[in-house]
Structure 1
Amino acid sequence: MANHWQERDSSASTSFDDEIYDLDRLRAEIEQEKDIYGMLENSVGDLKSTVTEMERRYELASEEDNEWKTRCETQEELNQLLSKQIQYLQDRLDQSRDSAKDGFESDLRSYDELSEGSLRKLLKQIEREKQSLESQLRDYEWRLDQESKAFHKANDERRNLHTELLQAKLKLEELKFTTNAGNQQKKRANQKGRGVEENVPDDQRILDPKHGPIKKTAAIKKLPKLDA
């Protein structure tokens, strides 16, 4: 009989230990699930941030694509216009060559008729014209360089003046705000002081430049007489 109770107690103890083990195991699994859930939440947050950043970059890329598309279309139109101008100038050049060829042959025939002295004189004249044209070219290049420097200088001054103008406007607005605030405070102070002076007779005002000095107790109301 004693052995029977011992076996029963041993079985009950074993069952209780198993339940405790199962409970601890469940708690451990729950904690593990919580950790996994927290990691998943962090991953979801990171993914959301990544998606938001990618959407922003995509919008920027779309805007840049539109800008580059507009630039490309503008450049294509400019290229077409330049191609037409090149073709026009090429035609003019061909015509000039034909005209120059005919004129050169006639000039050669006329030069053959000139004497050696006349040819030398003509050569000197051509040299002088060449030097004059070269001098004009250098003068134009120098003037162009000076105009370019003056333009950049004026542009820098314009930007500096624009900046100073903005700063002056901001300073003016600040002064207006300060002045208005001071006027409001002064107005309130005057109204407050006027409320006190209204109870003072004209011949008893204190330190009033318009009305002169008065008694310090002038604004105090008279006390009623006491009945005997």
Structure 2
Amino acid sequence: MEKIRGNPSDRLSSIRVYERMPVESLNTILKQLEKEKRSLENQVKNYAFRLEQETKAYHKTNNERRTYLAEMSQVSGSHQDSKRQQMEQLPRMKENLVKTGRYNPVNQKTVNAKRGPVKKIPRSNHLPKLNP
């Protein structure tokens, strides 16, 4: 079917074409236009329904994302607090070991910058016995 657009004189000539058509042909065109209109209305309804569904899904997902971010922030914060507490406890733990006599700085692992890997320094109370 021909669409009526553009130049007004072209539209006028199209109208004149329709004026010369028999009534049955015009009725057929009218039925086709009504059918096309219903089809387009159904498409609009379907698009509106899909848009509504997508909007609901978006909001649900966005709320879940916010919840997860809040949980991650909370866990991260508590993890940072835990690390901070551990770091604060290290000097106290060292003091307690010194007080009880279990801490021996000679027994600590050291890094040799030239050789690379960590090596353990032997404890002084494990030296071999000397023969007289």
TM above 0.5, one fold? Answer: yes
Q: 1:165, CA displacement in angstroms?
A: 2.4
Partner of 1:174: 81
Q: Which has the higher helix share?
A: 1
Q: Deviations over 1:89-124 (max 9, x none)?
A: xxxxxxxxx957545432321112223332222122
Q: Which has the higher strand share?
A: 2
State whether residues 94 and 103 of structure 2, in contact with CA within 8 Å, keep that contact through their aligned partners in structure 1: no
Q: Does 1:120 align with 2:27?
A: yes
Equivalent residues in 2 for 1:31-110, closer than 5 Å: 99=6, 102-110=9-17
The percentage of aligned residue pairs carrying the same residue is: 34
Q: Does 1:135 align with 2:53?
A: no
CA distance in 1: counterparts of 2:67 and 2:7, whole angstroms = 54
Q: Does 1:144 align with 2:27?
A: no
Q: Does 1:189 align with 2:96?
A: yes
TM-score, with structure 1 as normaliser:
0.38
Partner of 2:110: none
Q: Counterpart amino acid of 1:114?
A: M
CA distance in 1: counterparts of 2:47 and 2:57, whole angstroms = 15
Q: 1:131, CA displacement in angstroms?
A: 1.0
State whether residues 18 and 26 of structure 2, in contact with CA within 8 Å, keep that contact through their aligned partners in structure 1: yes
5+ residue gaps, structure 1: 1-97, 204-228
5+ residue gaps, structure 2: 107-123, 128-132
2:66 counterpart (132, 143, 159): 159
Instruction: From the CA coordinates, give the structure whose radius of gyration is larger.
Output: 1
CA distance in 1: counterparts of 2:55 and 2:72, whole angstroms = 25
Q: 1:201, CA displacement in angstroms?
A: 4.6
Name the CA shift for 1:142/1:174 in 2 (closer, same or farther; >3 Å): same
For CA contacts below 8 A with separation 6 or more, give which structure has more relative contact order. 2
Q: Deviations over 1:60-82 (max 9, x none)?
A: xxxxxxxxxxxxxxxxxxxxxxx
Supply the RMSD in Å over aligned alpha carbons.
3.1
Q: Counterpart amino acid of 2:48?
A: E
Q: Counterpart amino acid of 1:170?
A: G
